[in-house]
Amino acid sequence: MKTKIISSICITVLILTSGFTPMNNAKTLTDCPPNPRVSIDTDHQNYIHASAFRSLADGYEWTVTGGFIISGQGTTQISMGKDCPSGIITACVRAYNYMPNGGICYSDEVCAGVNYTGPCFQL
């Protein structure tokens, strides 16, 4: 089985030969994760969290603009800090699966933002 990743689209090609039997645990095209849904939750005072839903995946790759990740990179939920001054913070996530050939197959990137009016955070 050969897998090629092109612009976040995972293409799997099976090469059939006589006596070929696919392994039961081999990943196929359907094992590329679906696009997650992302939401941001905040009380505008103490916390800003982003969560990914609807995607069974091996991991999650987060990026944040207008702030920074405090914890949770690689998981379904991150905690974020807001850069000064307060304003819009955006969290984007791509779900990914490890492929049998050692490659990684990503979902599309999905983003959500919130206008944060609470205090900024500094590390």
pLDDT for 30: 52
Write down the CATH number for the domain with range 31-116.
2.60.40.10
Q: Tell me what pLDDT residue 21 has.
A: 39
Name residues whose C-beta falls within 8 Å of residue 40's C-beta, 6 or more positions apart in sequence. 48, 49, 50, 89, 91, 112, 113, 114
pLDDT given at position 17: 29
Three-state secondary structure string covering the chain: CEEEEECCEEEEECCCCCCCCCCCCCCCHHHCCCCCEEEEEECCCCCEEEEEECCCCCEEEEEEECEEEEECCECCEEEEEECCCCEEEEEEEEEEEECCCCCEEECCCEEEEEEECCCCCCC
- Residue 53: the pLDDT is 87
The whole-number pLDDT of residue 123 equals 61
Parse the chain into domains and list their residue ranges. Answer: 31-116
What is the full per-residue pLDDT of the chain (123 aa) written as tens digits?
Answer: 444 443 333 333 332 323 333 444 444 545 789 999 999 999 888 789 999 987 689 999 999 999 999 999 999 999 999 888 778 999 999 999 999 988 999 999 999 999 988 888 766
Question: Would the pTM count as exceeding 0.85?
Answer: no
Q: For position 84, what pLDDT does the model report?
A: 84
